[in-house]
Amino acid sequence: MNYMKVILISGRTTKQGISLEMGKTSEEYSNNVAVIMMNENDMKKIGAKEDEHVEVRTKFGSAVVRCKESRIDRGIAFMPYGPWANMMISADTQGTGMPNYKGVEAKISATDKDVLTIANVIERIKEIK
Amino acid sequence: MIYKNIVCTLCGCLCDDIEVVTEGERVADVKNACEFSRSKFLNHAKDRAKHLIKKNGKLVEVPIEEALGEAAEILKKADFPLIYGLSSTETDAQRMAVELAELIGASIDNTTSVCHGPTIQAVQDCGAAKCTLGEVRNRADLVIFWGCNPAEAHIRHATRYSITPRGLYTESGRKGREIVHVDVRETKTSKMADIFVKVKPGRDYELLSAFRAAVKGYDVGDVAGVPSETITQLVEKMKSCKFGVIFFGLGLTMTGAKHMNVNAALRLVRDLNDHTKFTINPMRGHGNVSGSNDVMTWCTGYPFAVNFSKGYPVYNPGEFSAVDILARRECDAALIIASDPVAHFPAQASEHLVRIPTIVIDPKINLTSLIAKIVIPSAIAGIECDGTAYRMDGIPLRLKKVIDSEFLPDREILKKIIERVKA
């Protein structure tokens, strides 16, 4: 399976901000937040096209999201703040209170798996041991 | 009805020129607002929570009295309760939450711990040369955005305060200001800037330290992906401007060195004040997150991550901050108010909220309410109830009520819980 290593950054986007006011159980929220933004050459490398599904994995967890082309450097990928990005972030704050929401090493590969729904995300959280 | 000069509580800008048009009990139109604010006002009635208690594994609707009574019982019995959130409500509710924390010996934390907590730690270490947004509007001729993206997070910041407005000593508006954006990626904010500086991910501390060395006259070479000439050119601009300001965001607080990144930025600004007037301000996210720090500081002496289990307030981020308490599975009950940790905490921290009785007070159905034991809906501060909120620069503004609500304000709900805990 073709995968590539990236530095994962999470942050605010306009669409995420607008859709969370429409309700976090809304389709708009999932559509705008369960995404990852990548450089077009990185997308080619893993064989994923616009809006196709990719699996993102870190040491701490994984999630399936849709990929979007973005003007971002190769080797960096961006996800909006939200429960999908949270699956991949460690709860260890090194004594500061603040998790590393930005700058996490991740592997990305194309996948046929479905994007996790909000209900799936909640189930996944309940299953964490 | 048309309401003028309404304060929007969505982000830390607290724009106070919003015009809201209401028809009966709904918002019909919003003027002067950004897309976020329009969405907040126009969708205020959507997705509202109900009074719910989990019975036999399912959330069922109950009368308000039952939800309040059960919430008080859970908090009274708990050995190590956690109260978390506060940044999307008004200051009276924040004050009541601190009172409740003291009463039940809880840990109390606000969303600062996962936004500008590292900023506060750095400010406690070395101080900050801050200013108000009004001063920026009227005086700043060099504006640096570092690790933040106001074009997508604080949409009207540019037009009201930092890029285009004409002020007392900034009559020429945009033309008279030099705008710099430092970030790991190009964003909509970069397009508004004259100079975009791309720093390698996680290398901000190095770059800020290089700027400090360059201000002192050292030749620093290429640092963190930024050419030596760019550093020299920017340092000259910083030293020669009349009034400079750095606005910084979570690009500094959420990466590797966290509070040390901010510490380096604060010290750079301190050094620059040997040459000119220079200031620095955090871009605070939630509408009243700044207020949550101020209120907790009036009441406890500390801005976040405070524990009352000894009967007096003890402050320690990393120990009493919410993510850590949850990740270590220490608390045995949680009251989440005006925030949504399941949407914004690492999943490994959210998981503990499923294990323990979690009480959620929030106007809307959110992801935390989906895993809660008790859900108590509240009025939206600044739309359905009045109050006070603190802008990102620490200026308090009065919130107005524009819609009658069937729901109680957060402060009333907390007051009723406190009465029941005391009973």
Of A11, A23, A86, the CB nearest to B364: A23
CB A102 to CB B324 under 8 A? no
- The Cα–Cα gap between B233 and B422 comes to 63
Indicate the SS3 state at residue B396. Answer: strand
> At which of B282, B316, B348 does a domain end?
B282
Q: At what angle do helices B117-126 and B259-272 cross, to 10 degrees?
A: 50
Q: Tell me, what's the pLDDT at A40?
A: 96
Tokens of B177: 């200001």
Tokens of A29: 């929220």
- Other Cβ atoms within 10 Å of B332 Cβ, number: 16
Of B36, B254, B351, the CB nearest to A102: B254
Which parts of chain B have pLDDT scores under 70? none
Task: Report chain A residues whose CB lies below 8 A from the CB of B114.
Answer: 97-99, 101
Residues B82 and B143 in one domain: no
Q: What are phi and psi of A88, to 5 degrees?
A: -105, 5
Assess B185–A contact: CB distance below 8 Å, yes or no. yes
Task: Note whether B148 and B162 are within 8 A (CB).
Answer: no
CB A96 to CB B367 under 8 A? no
Taking Cα atoms as reference points, which of B290, B213, B284 lies closest to residue B247? B284
H/E segment holding residue B77: helix B64-77
Distance from CA of A49 to the nearest CA of B (A): 21
Mark which residues 31-70 of A lie under 8 Å from B by CB.
60-61
Residues B370 and B243 in one domain: no
> At which of B282, B309, B336 does a domain end?
B282
CA distances for B209 relative to B4, B254, B291, B383, B413, angstroms: 46, 18, 31, 44, 48
Identify the sign of the CA torsion B338, B344, B348, B349. Answer: negative
Number of structural domains in chain B:
2
**What chain A residue is nearest to B255 in terms of C-alpha separation?**
A102
CB B39 to CB A22 under 8 A? yes
Specify the CATH number for the domain of residue B267.
3.40.228.10
Domain assignment of residue B328, yes or no: yes
Beta bridge partners of B336: B84, B360
CA distances for B285 relative to A6, B53, B297, angstroms: 27, 31, 19
Rounded CA Rg of chain B: 22
Query: End-to-end CA distance of chain A, in Å?
Result: 28
Q: What is the pLDDT of residues B219-264, one digit of tens each?
A: 999 999 999 999 999 999 999 999 999 999 999 999 989 999 999 9
Taking Cα atoms as reference points, which of A41, A28, A106, A39 lies closest to residue A68? A39
Residues B356 and B278 in one domain: no
Assess B253–A contact: CB distance below 8 Å, yes or no. yes
Tokens of B36: 């976020």
Assess B345–A contact: CB distance below 8 Å, yes or no. yes
Q: What are phi and psi of B49, to 5 degrees?
A: -80, 165
Task: Report chain A residues whose CB lies below 8 A from the CB of B351.
Answer: 125-126, 128
- The Cα–Cα gap between B84 and B107 comes to 8
CB B349 to CB A91 under 8 A? yes
Residues B109 and B122 in one domain: no
* The one-letter amino acid at A113: K
Q: What is the pLDDT of residues B261-288, one digit of tens each?
A: 999 999 999 999 999 999 999 999 999 9
* The one-letter amino acid at B25: E
Tell me which DSSP letter residue B268 carries.
H
Task: Report chain B residues whose CB lies below 8 A from the CB of A22.
Answer: 39, 43, 46-47
Distance from CA of A4 to the nearest CA of B (A): 17
Mark which residues 73-102 of B lie under 8 Å from A by CB.
none
Q: Tell me, what's the pLDDT at B256?
A: 85
ipTM for the predicted complex comes to 0.93
CB B317 to CB A122 under 8 A? no
- The Cα–Cα gap between B391 and B65 comes to 35
Task: Note whether B283 and B153 are within 8 A (CB).
Answer: yes
Domain ranges of chain A: 3-127
Task: Report chain B residues whose CB lies below 8 A from the CB of A93.
Answer: 318, 321, 323-324, 327
| pLDDT higher than 80, residue A22 | no
CB A21 to CB B39 under 8 A? yes
> At which of B221, B255, B282 does a domain end?
B282
Residues B126 and B206 in one domain: yes
Residues B60 and B150 in one domain: no
Tell me which DSSP letter residue A60 carries.
T
Residues B270 and B351 in one domain: no
Domain assignment of residue B183, yes or no: yes
Residues B142 and B92 in one domain: no
Task: Report chain A residues whose CB lies below 8 A from the CB of B347.
Answer: 61, 83, 86-87, 89, 124-125, 128
Residues B294 and B268 in one domain: no
Segments forming the whole domain that contains residue B265: 118-282
H/E segment holding residue B188: helix B188-192
Assess A120–B contact: CB distance below 8 Å, yes or no. no
Specify the CATH number for the domain of residue B367.
3.40.50.740
- The fold for domain A3-127 equals Barwin-like endoglucanases (2.40.40)
State the maximum Cα–Cα separation within chain B, in Å, rounded to a whole number: 70
Q: Which of A32, A93, A105, A116 to mutate to test the interface with B (most CBs of B within 10 A)?
A: A93
